[in-house]
Amino acid sequence: MSALIECVPNFSEGRDSGIIQSITREIESVDGVRLLHVDQGKATNRTVVTFVGEPAAIVEAAFIAIRKAGELIDMRNHKGEHPRMGATDVCPLIPIGGISLEETAAWAQKLAERVGRELSIPVYLYASAQKDKSRSDLSVIRSGEYEGFSEKIKLPGWKPDFGPSAFDLQRGATVIGARDFLVAYNVNLNTSSVRKANSIAFDVREAGRIKREGDPVNGKIVRDERGMPVNIPGSLKSVKAIGWYIEEYGMAQISMNLTNLSVTPLHIAFDEVCRKAENRGIRVTGSELVGLIPLQAMLSAGKYFLKKQKRSAGVSEKELIRVAIHSMGLDELRPFKPEEKIIEYLLKDGSAEKMVHLSLSEFADETASESPAPGGGSVAAYLGVLGISLAGMVANLSAIKKGWENRWEEFSEWAEKAQALKQALMRLVDADSRAFQAVMQAHALPKSTETEKVNRERAIDEATAKAIVVPFQVMKLALESMQILQVMVRKGNPNSVSDAGVGALCARSAVLGAGLNVRINTVGSEKDEKMSAILVATEKMEKEAVLLEEEILRELKMDSWQRTVDS
């Protein structure tokens, strides 16, 4: 994977769409950059823009966006709920793939140096781009905000990392850095009290609150033996939070930054705020996601809320996301569109999944057409999808069967395994067609000269090798599916054993069908040591599939039907 960086600049303008469009046009003008999302907040008077690309292109796009923001935004007139210190308040770079955080930090430093040198804007480094850890925290740097920075910048300890040590009244100052993925997340409350919202924020955020004697707000600050204030930590690690009032919505919110989703996931943050709010007589009405979120965060949330209900979490990706949206009220303030909010969906190449998005009739028509793809390999993979889908259905029906309430976790685990296999096999439906097309393209290469002949043969060998890998993987996954189907026949809801049997027939056909594709692509290469090993493994899997099918069908005889009647 080529190096890919995400850039999420926050501009201090959320009400004038013309200004925001002028900035985003600058970003889109850079080749190699893809604008993913624009989150314009009127109440906070702040817009969060997300774009991705290779490092050099990202730095160029970020630079001209910062330049344009400085031209169009006048901080002397800016008012908004969110803390801020400049026209481009903060500009983080985030590694997405093919690049480390340390390498991303080096690119952030290059951007910061250029902004300071060419635009004469005071620039502070933060997070992983800042070597001085005493000033690497964004909230510490931004303390005092725009209104207090004209004096703060004069202090020896607050000399900018780049640019002039004089505050720019129109453009303010900018913070540039590199960090891991951060989720900006607001939880909505049924109160307008900022004081109460802040109390909840202090309850949950990692930094907590300063300990006081008696009255927690006005009481005397408790200090340690060194005279330093004693802190009471909050309940959530890797979480920053404040309370504020949003006039546009007529409600207070807890505004959070989740800096490490593996430490505190989205759903845990939501539930904890719900608990702390309830302790203070306040109810959470919903929540709001600012910017983008990784797919896994939404899937984990969906599973979490289903398991809280003692329901099977082995449902489709689409259903898990729907459950997450409704459980956390992510659509309370505006519609939540997964295709616009989940980063993987925005990065997805739709042309790579042509087959799986066809309707059943369209897939059949395309298969029956004069086009050679989809062919037997794609159909074999889809048979595998159908087979394991039936296993998932039986597992989910078993999880909700009356009288089996104490077994829902067992069947939820089987259903989740089935969903994972279904997703993997689904990807192989299109992968097989792409592999076949690559073989055809290799055969179509010119062969007039010796060099062309060598290059053509090399391309054919490489494409053929890939065309073998895909159906071989289908065989492995479909065979694994048969093992789950056998468990469903033996242990699953007796009213659905025939469905598991049909699934086994599909999965066995997927194994044998994919095996035919492996064999046809190894013709002429049988003496090759690697190909010979693949053929041996192929034959072994074919035999295992046939034996498993026989076992499953045997178990589906009279005793199984009797079990159904007795139940």
What is the domain range of residue 424?
351-566
Instruction: State the pTM of this model.
Output: 0.80
**Spatial distance between the Cα atoms of 80 and 42, rounded to a whole number of angstroms:** 9
The percent of residues in the chain predicted with pLDDT above 90, rounded, is: 75
- Do residues 366 and 293 share a domain? no
Q: Give the model confidence (pLDDT) of 21-46 as tens digits.
A: 999 999 999 999 999 999 998 888 99
Q: What is the CATH classification number for the domain harbouring 336?
A: 3.30.70.670
Phi, psi of 275 (to 5 degrees): -65, -45
158 and 188 in a single domain? The answer is no
Give which of 89, 281, 272 is closest to 185, Cα–Cα: 272
Looking at residue 172, what DSSP letter applies? B
Of 294, 328, 347, the last residue of a domain is 347
214 and 318 part of one domain: yes
Looking at the fold, whether 478 and 404 belong to one and the same domain comes out as yes
**Cα–Cα distance, 5 to 110 (Å, whole number):** 14
Peptide bond just before 9 cis, omega within 30 deg: no
- Which amino acid belongs to residue 240? K
Residue 196 forms beta bridges with which residues?
none
Given a cut of 90, is residue 103 above it in pLDDT? yes
Q: 3-class SS at 14?
A: coil
Q: For residue 78, indicate whether it is catalytic.
A: no
User: CA-to-CA distance for 102 and 126, rounded, in angstroms?
Assistant: 13
Catalytic status, residue 357: no
Choosing from 39, 82, 267, 271, the catalytic residue is: 82
| Closest CA relative to residue 57, chosen from 3, 103, 11, 8 | 3
- Residues 187-208 pLDDT 10s: 999 999 999 999 999 999 999 9
Residue 432 belongs to domain with CATH number = 1.20.120.680
Q: Considering the chain, what is the average pLDDT of its residues?
A: 92
Band (1; pLDDT cuts 50, 70, 90): low
What does the pLDDT read at residue 355? 84
β-partners of residue 48 are 10, 39
DSSP 405: G
Task: Looking at the structure, tell me whether residues 386 and 438 fall in a common domain.
Answer: yes
Same domain flag for 258 and 165: no
**CA distances to 350, 365, 487 from 417, in Å:** 26, 31, 12
| Letter string b/e over residues 178-196, b meaning 16 or more CB atoms within 10 A of that residue's CB | bbbbbbbbbbbbebeebeb
Mean pLDDT (whole number) for 138-163: 92
Q: Are 53 and 121 members of one domain? A: yes
Neighbours of 285 (CB within 10 A): 16
Q: Which of 500, 470, 462 is nearest to 483 (CA)?
A: 500
Please check the confidence at residue 558 and state whether its pLDDT lies above 60.
Answer: no
Last residue within a domain, chosen from 298, 331, 347: 347
What CATH number does the domain containing 76 carry? 3.30.990.10
Give me the number of domains the chain comprises. Answer: 3
Q: Residues 215, 96: one domain?
A: no
Distance CA 478, CA 385 (A): 8
Q: pLDDT per residue over 47-72, tens digit each?
A: 999 999 999 999 999 999 999 999 99
Q: How far is 7 from 63, CA to CA, in rounded Å? A: 11
For position 147, what pLDDT does the model report?
A: 93
Domain boundary among 331, 347, 363: 347
Q: Mean pLDDT over residues 318-335, rounded? A: 96
> Do 131 and 227 lie in a common domain?
no
pLDDT at 565 over 50: no
Do residues 53 and 147 both lie within one domain? Answer: yes
Same domain assignment for residues 195 and 322: yes
Of the listed 168, 430, 432, 499, which one is catalytic? 432
Q: So what's the pLDDT on residue 126? A: 96
Looking at the fold, whether 161 and 199 belong to one and the same domain comes out as no
